[in-house]
Amino acid sequence: MADYIITRTMPTIYVDRSGNPVHGYTIYFDLTEFDETHYLNVPSLDEAVVKAAIERLLEQRRKLATFGGTLTKK
């Protein structure tokens, strides 16, 4: 099973960290491991850009799941 499934893309304008408007895309995707839907804004639909952004979020989500489990252990 795939780690994630892209379910929708939509052209958008968003503001980057510098406060500048960016003509880009909102990518909606499901993280199958967690049965969750997320979205990210990216500057292009280039496969490398989208893949890197989603995989970065997936790595953070996995760390969050591990972190949550450590809070209950004594």
Across the chain, what does the average pLDDT equal? 93
Domain range list for the chain: 4-72
Q: CB atoms < 10 A from the CB of 41, how many?
A: 16
Contact 41, 21 (CB under 8 A): no
Contact 57, 64 (CB under 8 A): no
Residue 62 to residue 25: CA distance in whole angstroms: 25
pLDDT confidence tier of residue 37, bands split at 50, 70 and 90: very high
pLDDT confidence tier of residue 74, bands split at 50, 70 and 90: very low
